[in-house]
Amino acid sequence: MVKPAERVVQAAAASTGHEKPAGIPDALLVEMYRQMVLIRRFDRRCIGLQRAGRIGTYAPMEGQEACQVGVGLALRPQDFLFPTYRDSGAMMLHGMPMDKVLLFWNGRVEGYEIPEAVNVFPVAVPIATQLPHAAGAAWAAKLRGVDQVAVALFGDGASSEGDFHTAMNFAGVFHVPAVFVCQNNQYAISVPYRRQTASETIAQKAEAYGFEGIRIDGCDVIAVYRAVQAAIEKAAAGGGPTLVEALTYRYGAHTTSDDPTKYRKPEEVEEWRARDPIAKLGGQLREWGLWDDEAEEQLQQEVDSQVSTAIAAMESIEPVNPDDLFLHIYETPTPRLLKQRDALRAELAAKAQGGIAPWRS
């Protein structure tokens, strides 16, 4: 049952030795590295922005760059991506502008506006709710005869939710063109993998639903790219869904509101940092004669500039309209919602005049 997954891990390990992997152009190998560096810089800047009060709570992804880039580059333009709140990297690779992603983290409704022709579903904050959506979208593509695969990202904690099982069952029964990619970063917030499931792997859960599950090294961007690309090709050819479990790790907190030192040891983090996906591929590129110090320096300047430009764009828009909090909930606002809106308006008006809202006096 687990053997196919183990074979993939072994194959991935073999592809990351001293020999350059076959079948992947040099330009793509370099692009994988460039995108991982960009995403890490974006991630670190976002944490700084949150600490400075310039964006809201943020979910760091440092350590998971290989999953983000491997999936993002494997997607075809017409495929649909269903992300979680930790998947900004994959979203940007699939066409979501960086400043739009920042607007989401800034708490702006504009961050939920997906540009025309960008096949990215709005960020799912509730755990696993995007998985039934992905299964449904894949079914719709099948019924319509459209060459489109739905690719959903989720964490290991999501595999313990009912929506996960609903989506897997539906995808298996209706043999839909979907790829479910679990980024198993070992923790569901503070709950370690061993405390949330007795299954040896998440990949093996696919067998219960009648389709293939594979387990790969999520710190190896080449392995992630190959596995997801193959799963997409299979789904597009009518081969049905695949569950891909990518073993990875987040170095930082679940979000900027928690403290990971409360639930894991520094030695564990350092052990995973020794497998860092960026350091690994960067070293390999140099070994293969595809990268050097000059290219690295130029890249660092480019990613700095790109992220800074996006932050400036995010902060250049007009101040938020407090009424946005009450829009987009019901087509016709309920009386209670209108009462809440009016109360907020009164409080803000009172504060603007240096006073307090009437009901607080």
Q: What is the dihedral of CA 68, 72, 73, 79, to 10 degrees?
A: 160
Rounded CA separation 87/211 (Å): 25
Question: What is the set of active-site residues?
Answer: 250, 254, 263
Residue with token string 């998440």: 202
Burial 14-52 (b: 16+ CB within 10 A, else e): ebbeeeebeeeeeeebbebbbbbbbbbbbbebbbebbee
Rounded CA separation 69/93 (Å): 7
Contacts of 217 (CB under 8 A, 6+ apart): 9, 12, 13, 16, 223, 224, 246, 247
Task: List, in sequence order, the alpha helices (H) in the chain.
Answer: 3-15, 26-51, 65-74, 88-93, 98-105, 130-144, 162-174, 193-196, 205-208, 221-236, 266-273, 277-287, 293-315, 335-352
Residue 240 buriedness (CB in 10 A; 0-12 / 13-18 / 19+) = buried
Report angle CA 41, 309, 28 to the nearest 5 degrees: 50
In the chain, what is the greatest distance between 2 CA atoms, to the nearest angstrom?
73
Helices (H) and strands (E) in the chain, counts: 14, 7
